[in-house]
Amino acid sequence: MAPPRPLLLLSEDHALADLLAPLVEAEGGYSLTCAKPGEAWIVAAAQPWAAALADGAASLALLAASGLTVPFILLGGETLPPGVAAALRKPVRVAELMAALARHAAAAPAAGVALGAALRLDPAARVLARTGLGEGAARVRLTEKEAAILLHLHAAGRPVPKEELLGEVWGYSPEATTHTLETHVYRLRRKLVAAFGQAVVVTERGGYRLAP
């Protein structure tokens, strides 16, 4: 028997998750994970999701900003926004949800997060590879912290202060004095330059950002 396919629900309504979880498992062989909207960029990296359900327009916007490249299904939508696989009215009918998943989940694009035009990060495998190339393409395996740094910079889409990265990636307080971040970024840059000829992470105004 095939393992259940992971399905992400981004919602504050855990009652909705409790209702849908057994139904999508029984009807479609999915395993549903519910996360709060503020956790979008973290859960996007958790594993290669088959599809993602957004409970409302705000959750949908956060999913899109997370860099997740799987079919999005909007719950509670009256119209179909651009780039969204399906929009379903609430209360959600399981038959309609299963039909939408059947239409779009199988056609999901390659898992991963695009970092610029040439690189793609597979968060589950923690592998960064050059896109558009075959089996012999340059790729590099990252540590958990290196992948988390890249994912947070990608999700932010702006220069990120060092204090923010230390808090989000390591859980340190803003007052913490440490060179952990600088050391990790130095090693990450060396690794990426050796593999791709570019450092990817740029220093800017007391923090870091991704190169365009």
Q: Is the pLDDT score of 132 beyond 70?
A: no
DSSP state of 47: S
pLDDT band at residue 2 using 50, 70 and 90 as cut-offs: low
Question: How far apart, in whole angstroms, are the C-alpha atoms of residue 86 and residue 101?
Answer: 9
DSSP state of 174: T
Q: What is the second-level CATH architecture of the domain 5-107?
A: 3-Layer(aba) Sandwich (3.40)
Measured CA to CA in angstroms, residue 171 lies from 151, 163, 164, 181 at distances of 16, 10, 9, 12
Angle between helix axes 180-196 and 144-156 (nearest 10 degrees) is: 90
Helix ranges (DSSP H) in the chain: 14-28, 40-44, 57-66, 94-104, 144-156, 162-165, 180-196
Give the model's pLDDT for residue 176: 67
What's this model's pTM, rounded to 2 decimal places? 0.52
* Identity of residue 115: L
Which class for 61: exposed (0-12), middle (13-18), buried (19 or more C-beta within 10 A)? middle
pLDDT band at residue 95 using 50, 70 and 90 as cut-offs: confident
Question: How far apart, in whole angstroms, are the C-alpha atoms of residue 82 and residue 184?
Answer: 38
Q: Is the pLDDT score of 212 beyond 60?
A: yes
Give the residue extent of every domain in the chain: 5-107, 113-210
CATH class name, domain 113-210 = mainly alpha
